[in-house]
């Protein structure tokens, strides 16, 4: 680091401390104030729905954490800043968080551009950026303060490929994927694994997030004559594709990535998603106590609402953050170290979660083979559809 930088950094951190002291009393009243996490995510704009889902998951986890006595007697709380998942705003939020000494850990952002634009700021300031929806392969390469519980697609996609090719015996596949960093990476992992298992990839089609009409795409799929359709989609576009596939007369087996796992998928897809196979990280009938506690707690708190995958990511992320803060205390560096020490945290998605210190990601996603039967997700009974 050059001289200029060191000088400005020292000056800057002095300024930051003054600013921090000015608008947060926590500097004076350490013990009674809650331990504060920063959240950078979308509350408005095109991705607003995901921020709303995060909040539901966070709030449920926090209720349970406070009920269990908080973190060594202190409450845990978060400050949610709306970034609209826009990199300009996420960098400003990053500066806001790093210069507020009360913030001990940061969660988010939602999309890769917004998250990774802010990474250099968190990295230099030494504040952990804990991205739990960041499956971009380079997210955790941003520095040793970038950690993620977003399941590496390298882990998940081969499981889906195995479901489709080995279990459902689909030999010729058409892959439709969201043409984003996530969809693209997932597609590559999926295609490689599927080929390894002996399947042929007849066609792959990438579509942009705003797409609503898939009829022409599905004609291409039909002409490729596959015996199975693989959707690497979110629940809203996944439901659209399934509906339109049935409308244009495609009767092939549909198999979708875990990201469609949402009651909304059933609601939006209606009858068209009947018999769709979903490889997922968790399912409501999973007898594990973490899962049952999450689902019953969620329904109780939100008037019978069924949780979905994004709710679960946020819930797990908050619990993971609590576990880390329990070990690391309120010191940012110690929290960074705590990520390397934290072990076997109970979680909905992973069973018990432990970070792989080399990749700074969690390994070992659970995979349940589900199928939609009578409008509900159910464990697949092994019978062909």
Partner 1 sequence: MSSWLDYTINGLIVGNVYALVAVGLALIFGVSRLINFAQGSIYLVGAYIGWVAVVQLHTPLPLTIIVVAAAAAVVGLIIERFGLRPLQNSVRIAPLLATIGISFVLDQLVMLTFSPNPRALPSQLPDVRFQVGGGTIGPLDLLIAGVGLTSALLLFVFLRYSKLGWAVRAASQDRDAAMQMGVDVNRVNQAVFGIAAALGGVSGMLVGMYYNQIDTAMSLQATLKGVVAEVVGGAGNVPGAVIGSLLLGLVESYGVAVFGTSYRNLFAFLLLVVVLVLRPNGLFASARQAPPEPLTGTFIAPSRPVRIPRWALAVAAVGFAILPFFPVSFYVLQTLINAWLLGMLALSLTLVAGTVGQVSLGHAALLAIGAYTSALLSLTLSVPVGLAVIGGGLMSAALGTLLISPSFRLRGHYVSIATLAIGEIVSLVILNWESVTRGPIGISGIPPLSLFGYDLISPSSIYWFSFAVMTVLALLQGRLLGSHLGRSFRAIRDDDIAARAYGLSLNRYKSLAFIFGGFAAGVSGGIAAHLYSYINHETFNTQQSILALTVVILGGLGNVVGAIVGAVALVGLPEVFRIAAEYRILIYGIVLLLLVRFRPQGLLGTI
Task: Name which of residues 52 to 81 contact partner 1 (CB under 8 A).
Answer: 52-53, 80-81
| Contact status, residue 59 vs residue 80, Cβ threshold 8 Å | no
Look up residue 74 and give its DSSP letter: B
**Binding range to partner 1, per CB under 8 A, among 43-51, 144-152, 312-320, 334-342:** 43-51
Cα–Cα dist 60/303, whole Å: 13
220 binds partner 1 (CB under 8 A): yes
SS3 per-residue string spanning 105-120: EEEECCCHHHHHHHHH
Buried b (16+ CB within 10 A) or exposed e, 86-105: bbebbbbbbebbbbbbbbbb
Cα Rg, the chain, nearest whole Å: 22
Restricting to residues 243-272, which ones interact with partner 1 according to CB under 8 A? 243, 247-249, 264, 267-270
How near is the Cβ of 72 to partner 1 at its closest, in Å? 29
92 binds partner 1 (CB under 8 A): yes
Q: For residues 56 and 319, which CB has a smaller minimum distance to partner 1 in the complex? A: 56
196 binds partner 1 (CB under 8 A): no
Q: For residues 83 and 319, which CB has a smaller minimum distance to partner 1 in the complex? A: 83
Structure tokens given for 233: 């989609």
219 binds partner 1 (CB under 8 A): yes
**107 alpha carbon, distance to own chain's centre:** 11
Choice from 169, 200, 208, 385 touching partner 1 (CB under 8 A): 208
Q: For residues 268 and 322, which CB has a smaller minimum distance to partner 1 in the complex? A: 268
Choice from 32, 216, 225, 352 touching partner 1 (CB under 8 A): 216
**Binding range to partner 1, per CB under 8 A, among 32-40, 148-156, 214-222, 279-287:** 214-222
Count of residues making up the chain: 385
CB neighbours of residue 247 within 10 Å: 12
293 binds partner 1 (CB under 8 A): no
Choice from 63, 196, 200, 213 touching partner 1 (CB under 8 A): 213
217 binds partner 1 (CB under 8 A): yes
Q: What are phi and psi of 59, to 5 degrees?
A: -65, -40
Restricting to residues 170-189, which ones interact with partner 1 according to CB under 8 A? 176, 179-181, 183-185
Q: For residues 1 and 29, which CB has a smaller minimum distance to partner 1 in the complex? A: 1
119 binds partner 1 (CB under 8 A): yes
Restricting to residues 138-167, which ones interact with partner 1 according to CB under 8 A? 138, 141-142
Cα–Cα dist 163/252, whole Å: 15
The β-bridge relationship of strands 146-148 and 200-207 is unpaired
Q: What are phi and psi of 368, to 5 degrees?
A: -110, 140
How near is the Cβ of 34 to partner 1 at its closest, in Å? 18
Cα–Cα dist 226/232, whole Å: 16
| Contact status, residue 364 vs residue 350, Cβ threshold 8 Å | yes
87 binds partner 1 (CB under 8 A): yes
Cα–Cα dist 349/106, whole Å: 20
**Total residues binding partner 1 (CB under 8 A):** 88
Q: For residues 99 and 347, which CB has a smaller minimum distance to partner 1 in the complex? A: 99
Choice from 33, 48, 167, 275 touching partner 1 (CB under 8 A): 48
């Amino acid at each position: 680091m050059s001289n200029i930088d060191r000088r400005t950094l020292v000056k800057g951190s002095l300024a930051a401390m003054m600013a921090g002291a000015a608008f947060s009393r926590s500097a004076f009243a350490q013990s009674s104030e809650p331990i504060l996490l920063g959240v950078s995510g979308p509350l408005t704009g095109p991705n607003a729905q995901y921020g709303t889902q995060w909040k539901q998951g966070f709030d449920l986890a926090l209720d349970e954490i406070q009920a269990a006595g908080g973190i060594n007697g202190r409450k845990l709380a978060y400050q949610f800043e709306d970034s609209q998942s826009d990199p300009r705003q996420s960098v400003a939020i990053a500066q806001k968080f790093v210069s507020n000494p009360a913030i001990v850990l940061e969660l988010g952002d939602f999309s890769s551009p917004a998250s990774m634009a802010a990474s250099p700021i968190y990295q230099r300031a030494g504040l952990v950026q804990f991205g739990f929806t960041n499956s971009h392969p380079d997210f955790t390469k941003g520095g040793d303060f970038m950690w993620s519980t977003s399941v590496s697609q390298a882990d998940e996609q081969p499981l889906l490929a195995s479901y489709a090719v080995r279990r459902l015996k689909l030999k010729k596949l058409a892959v439709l994927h969201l043409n984003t960093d996530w969809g693209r990476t997932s597609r590559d992992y999926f295609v490689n694994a599927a080929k390894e298992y002996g399947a042929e990839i007849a066609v792959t089609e990438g579509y942009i997030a705003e797409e609503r009409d898939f009829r022409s795409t599905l004609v291409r799929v039909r002409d490729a004559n596959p015996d199975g359709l693989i959707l690497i989609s979110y629940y809203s576009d996944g439901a659209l594709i399934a509906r339109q596939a049935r409308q244009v007369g495609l009767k092939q087996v549909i198999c979708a990535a875990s990201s469609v796992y949402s009651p909304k998928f059933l609601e939006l897809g209606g009858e068209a998603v009947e018999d769709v196979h979903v490889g997922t990280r968790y399912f409501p009938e999973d007898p594990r106590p973490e899962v049952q506690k999450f689902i019953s707690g969620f329904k109780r708190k939100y008037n019978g609402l069924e949780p979905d995958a994004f709710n679960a990511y946020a819930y797990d992320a908050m619990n993971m953050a609590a576990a880390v803060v329990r070990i690391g205390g309120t010191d940012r560096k110690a929290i960074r170290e705590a990520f390397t020490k934290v072990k076997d945290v109970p979680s909905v998605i992973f069973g018990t979660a432990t970070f792989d210190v080399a990749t700074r990601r969690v390994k070992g996603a659970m995979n349940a083979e589900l199928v939609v039967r009578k409008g509900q997700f159910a464990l697949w009974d092994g019978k062909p559809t």
